[in-house]
Structure 1
Amino acid sequence: MPTRRQLLSRAITAGVALPLAALAARAGGLAPAVPPPAPTRPVPATPAMGQVHQVSIQGFAFVPAAIAIAPGDTVVFTNRDIAPHTVTSESGVFDSGRLGSGQSVRMSFSARGEYPYLCAIHPRMRGTLRVG
């Protein structure tokens, strides 16, 4: 029968060895405790997106009435009037359809040129968009 001293020695050995074995098993064997840093790679540059411009429809007018943008830019037309409006190019290139109060439409433009537009519901409301 083992002596008290032998039992105590075995308990201490087991108490140290078992947690170390469990730790090694969780770490994947002999893997380092701290994972190596991930390799650093340059992040590819994303192409620049066009700017976003705002035109308000308020007081039965387009504000600003004339706007100049670069190709690829976007214009957000927002109806701030109670009455419905449209943003319709005179040449038929674009038409927002009917915009109720508080509604917006986003339009992006890539072709250079000058685009006069109006509200098809209230034709006295006019604006000019210059792309270039």
Structure 2
Amino acid sequence: MVKRRHASGKSTRACAALVCAMLAATLSAVPASAAAPTSHVVTIENMQFNPPTLTVKRGDRIVWINKDLFPHTVTGNTHAFDSRSIAANASWSYAPAKAGSYPYGCTFHPTMHGALTVQ
């Protein structure tokens, strides 16, 4: 007959503490660039983008919400992005992958301008 030995409470707790310490060390070594993306909101209201300028990190998500009674677009001046028509009370989102400065506007209303800076 084979006798089985069970781990004592002390050794189980020590093992759990070691695993937790290793996990904490691993997570603290993750570079900041691997952090979860952030969401940002730009409101379209009264024929304006608010905020008119926004700085984000690559991979962050920007949501433009149209609170006007008529459609708008969010179109990069270099066509890096284009929402097409965003209906009243609708939204459009974009997650930039490339760093740079991106002025944009509404193709329906040429006086509407905004700027997106991606780090």
Q: Determine if the TM-score, normalized by the shorter chain, exceeds 0.5.
A: yes
Residue 64 (structure 2) aligns with: 77
Percent identical residues: 34
Q: 1:48 deviation in Å?
A: 2.9
**What is the alpha-carbon distance in structure 2 between the residues aligned to residue 70 and residue 94 of structure 1?**
16
Q: Structure 1: which 5+ residue stretches go unaligned? A: 1-39
Alignment of 1:1-132 (within 5 A): 48-132=35-119
* Bigger Rg, which one: 1
State TM-score, norm by structure 2: 0.71
Other structure's SS at 1:56 match: strand
Aligned residues, how many? 94
RMSD of aligned Cα (Å) = 1.9
Greater relative contact order (CA < 8 Å, ≥ 6 in sequence): 2
**What is the alpha-carbon distance in structure 2 between the residues aligned to residue 48 and residue 129 of structure 1?**
20
Other structure's SS at 1:54 match: strand
Q: 1:49 deviation in Å?
A: 2.0
State TM-score, norm by structure 1: 0.65
Q: Structure 2: which 5+ residue stretches go unaligned? A: 1-15, 28-33
Q: 1:110 deviation in Å?
A: 1.8
CA displacement 1:12-49 (0-9 Å, x = unmatched): xxxxxxxxxxxxxxxxxxxxxxxxxxxx887897x532
Residue 12 (structure 1) aligns with: none
**What is the alpha-carbon distance in structure 1 between the residues aligned to residue 50 and residue 107 of structure 2?**
17
Structure 1 runs of 4+ aligned residues shifted over 3 Å read 40-45
**What is the alpha-carbon distance in structure 1 between the residues aligned to residue 71 and residue 92 of structure 2?**
13
**What is the alpha-carbon distance in structure 2 between the residues aligned to residue 126 and residue 103 of structure 1?**
19
CA displacement 1:77-119 (0-9 Å, x = unmatched): 0000001100000101110010111110110012110000000
What amino acid does structure 1 have at the position aligned with 2:70?
A
